[in-house]
Amino acid sequence: MLAAVLTQAPAPLTAGGPVDAVIEGLLRKEPEKRLTAADALDLLRPERQADTTVPVSAPPDPTLSLARPRRRRGPVVILTSAAVVVVALVGFLVWQTLPDGDRGAASPTTTTTPIPTPDGYTEYDEPGFTVAVPTGWERLENPVQWLGGGEHLKLHVTVYGLDEAPADLLGFLEDFEETEVGDQPYHDRVRLAELDGQVSGGRAAELEYVYQSGSAFYHELVRLVVTDGGHVYYLRWWAQGDSADGARDEMSTHRGVLTAILGTFHVD
């Protein structure tokens, strides 16, 4: 069921008006085609002015919930950051079947236990998790997100409440990877590994790969955290470049920020 939530197309929209356009724009598969927060607010502003008595919203998804016990089920939580890169290449993507040897242990630099908030970072206690981001980044609502540093380096954190969490984290990430880039002309897996030790009372695994989508190349890291209580935290971070090597270089340039943010992330 988790794979369906993350990889399948959403059900037809029924809210009507600009709300449908905003939801569709935020759910586009290609990162470069998704609406920005400013674009979404611009689309919704006429709707909000026209009707000030009954707010319009998408119907709730019963499969989603926040991780903190005894709280009502809530929306997807998204954490977004950014850095600078310009993209101007044309191309399509390819799927390469990679051997089981790509599965491995966690890298020596992987942080699995929370670290103190670094200097220059601000800690946020959100429903279900706590994280620190660079001080000065803008925090937005609906969904919760932080913006800062440019346009093309992004981190998303999504919280799912499920009756049964996936037992095989590596298998789930492999299925996710195939769904994401299975029909694309360029794809290179960098790493697939379980993280050593417990992560906030649960298990974790990471997938890292480089791929091309439309005219852009992305170096993406996906971390899956499953708690003993059955909640799933799904973190995606991608860097964008004008070539596969450009995306790798961009990820390398900002790896320190990613390491700091993920190092401070922990679930309640």
DSSP string, 135-201: TTPEEETTTTEEE-S-SSEEEEEEEEE-SS--S-HHHHHHHHHHHHHTT-S-EEEEEEEEPSS-SSS
Pick the range with the lowest mean pLDDT from 19-28, 45-54, 255-264.
Answer: 45-54
Residues 28 and 6: their CA atoms lie apart, in Å, by: 12
The mean per-residue pLDDT over the stretch 228-233 comes to 78
Q: Which fold has domain 100-267?
A: Protein Transport Mog1p; Chain A (3.40.1000)
Instruction: Determine the pLDDT at residue 95.
Output: 18
Q: What is the pLDDT of residue 196?
A: 78
What's the sign of the alpha-carbon dihedral 125, 128, 132, 138? negative
Residue 134's SS3 state is: strand
pLDDT class of 142 with cuts at 50, 70, 90: low
Q: Can the peptide bond before residue 55 be classed as cis, meaning omega within 30 degrees of 0?
A: no
Strands of 121-126's sheet, edge to edge?
121-126, 129-134, 266-267
Overall average pLDDT of the 185-205 stretch? 85
When comparing pLDDT for 170 and 184, which is higher? 170
d(CA 104, CA 244): 23
DSSP-H helix ranges across 27-116: 37-50
pLDDT at 17 over 70: no
Q: Could you give the angle at which helices 255-264 and 244-253 cross, rounded to 10 degrees?
A: 60
Q: Is 11 exposed, middle or buried (0-12, 13-18, 19+ CB in 10 A)?
A: exposed
Ranges 6-15, 137-146, 172-181, 220-229: which has the least confidence: 6-15
pLDDT digits (tens, 9 = 90+) for 30-63: 665 566 555 555 555 544 444 433 333 332 332 3
What are the pLDDT digits (tens) for 123-135? 988 877 888 888 8
Closest CA to 96 of 30, 169, 177, 29: 177
pLDDT tier, 110 (very low <50, low <70, confident <90, very high otherwise): very low
Q: How far is CA 93 from the centre of its chain?
A: 20
- pLDDT tens per residue across span 79-101: 433 332 222 111 111 112 223 33
Q: In the chain, helix, strand, coil percent, each to 5?
A: 25, 30, 45
Q: How confident is the model at residue 227 (pLDDT cuts 50, 70, 90)?
A: confident
Domain coordinates of the chain in residue numbers? 2-50, 100-267
Listing DSSP states for 186-230 in one string gives -EEEEEEEEPSS-SSSEEEEEEEEEEEETTEEEEEEEEEEEETTS
**Percentage, residues of the chain above pLDDT 70:** 49
